[in-house]
Amino acid sequence: DATGQQISPSGNLNPAITPASAIEVVNLISATDLAKFGYNTNNSPNSAKNSNTLSEKLEGMALVPDISTPDPTDYFLFVANDNDFQSASVKMLNAAGTIVTNPTGEARDNLITHDAQFLAYSVTIVPEPSSSLLILLSGFGLIVRRRR
């Protein structure tokens, strides 16, 4: 972005630059997929929230090998989030050390209890062949052709 070589003059990407492409691998908040399990993302005001409404943000994520299968490309994606104290029955200490039910005075989603949630996704991750492997396989193909 040197002087006279701006990549986005006036907020528009320079047409000589090809932006990186993106591909969706896992959509953790797909309304269609969540509905299969009774979950929803009804977090907007005046929406039909219930105890299966996901909290507004996901807070923990881990990708671990699935050791229940011999396939090394199988994994579990664990996703967790807390309830942001969105519960009619949450209790905590306030600054004075007194146990209170609703220390901030915020509305509590019509007394719906949002439990902390831990979701598990089964995923298969197929690694992209490395270019060195492709070169090796191409060379092997040439050697095999010459032997004929």
Residues of the chain with pLDDT > 70: what percent? 70
Q: Is the pLDDT of residue 50 over 70?
A: yes
**Residues near 62 by beta carbon (within 8 Å), at least 6 away in sequence:** 77, 78
Mean pLDDT: which of 47-51, 52-56, 71-75, 83-87 is highest? 71-75
Model confidence at 147, pLDDT cuts 50, 70, 90, reads very low
Q: Where are the beta strands (DSSP E) in the chain?
A: 60-65, 74-81, 92-93, 99-100, 117-124
pLDDT tens string 5-34: 788 878 888 888 888 888 887 788 888 988
Q: Is the pLDDT of residue 83 over 80?
A: no
Q: Is the pLDDT of residue 3 over 70?
A: yes
- pLDDT mean across residues, the chain: 76
What is the pLDDT averaged over residues 82-93? 67
Would you state the pLDDT for residue 148? Answer: 43
Reported as half-sphere exposure (CB side, CA atoms, 13 A), residue 33 has a value of: 9
What is the pLDDT averaged over residues 113-128? 81
Residue whose pair of structure tokens reads 């699935």 in the numeric block? 66
